[in-house]
Amino acid sequence: EAGVAQSPRYKIIEKRQSVAFWCNPISGHATLYWYQQILGQGPKLLIQFQNNGVVDDSQLPKDRFSAERLKGVDSTLKIQPAKLEDSAVYLCASSLDQTGNTGELFFGEGSRLTVL
Amino acid sequence: QQPVQSPQAVILREGEDAVINCSSSKALYSVHWYRQKHGEAPVFLMILLKGGEQKGHEKISASFNEKKQQSSLYLTASQLSYSGTYFCGTELGDRRQLTFGSGTQLTVLP
């Protein structure tokens, strides 16, 4: 079974530029998450989708970050304009969550962003 | 509400035991444990739901003390492959948002 796919793996941009990350979850997984992981810290939830609806985006900096999950499958996370403090690894994860409880999260390899 | 993990780092020899703690100031619904090796994605270890049950996987087990809002991860007879950063993730009683702690870096030496 294919895992969570993310691209690009690495991206270097200058501040005030824009960037987009793509994620394709495991087939059949209803819930999709975007986490931001700054070096030396734990993953921080940015947004959580259930199918194509947003469950939680309370920690998403909405003035610069946006995310969508069209048709309840793959998802795109965009940053515009980027700031130096956005340098981090952006992890996408998916879970089956058939019971309504949060189950095992399957993480992708992440997209490492460096903002200069 | 980010859970608090302790210790921040631990170094041990192969075959030794370790305990990693995770605590919250709020009532917890569940505790999740993940391990992340350097440059890799976090990998799921186990989930504990409120009720104080203990779960185990080979030589790695965990407990959840609902009264104290604490969870402990037990690694017995550590192997070199156990090295990595361990994160606990917690869900509060009233919402299903998984919040991770800052991690515990475990190094197992030969």
CB contact under 8 Å between A55 and B91, yes or no, is no
Indicate the range of A48-52, B10-14, B94-98 predicted with least confidence. Answer: B94-98
Both tokens assigned to B44: 């799921």
B33 compared with A1, residue with greater pLDDT? B33
CB contact under 8 Å between B41 and A109, yes or no, is yes
Q: What pLDDT does residue A71 have?
A: 84
Highest mean pLDDT among A94-98, A99-103, B45-49: B45-49
Q: What pLDDT does residue B59 have?
A: 84
Stretch B63-69: mean pLDDT, rounded? 88
Contacts of B74 (CB under 8 A, 6+ apart): B17, B18, B19, B60, B61, B62, B63
**Whether the predicted pLDDT of B6 surpasses 70:** yes
Which of A90, A99, A102, A111 would you mutate first to test chain B, the one with the most B CBs within 10 A?
A102
**Whether the predicted pLDDT of B58 surpasses 80:** no
Q: What pLDDT does residue B65 have?
A: 87
CB-based burial of residue A82 (10 Å sphere; 0-12 exposed, 13-18 middle, 19+ buried)? buried
CB contact under 8 Å between A107 and B41, yes or no, is yes
CB-based burial of residue B96 (10 Å sphere; 0-12 exposed, 13-18 middle, 19+ buried)? middle
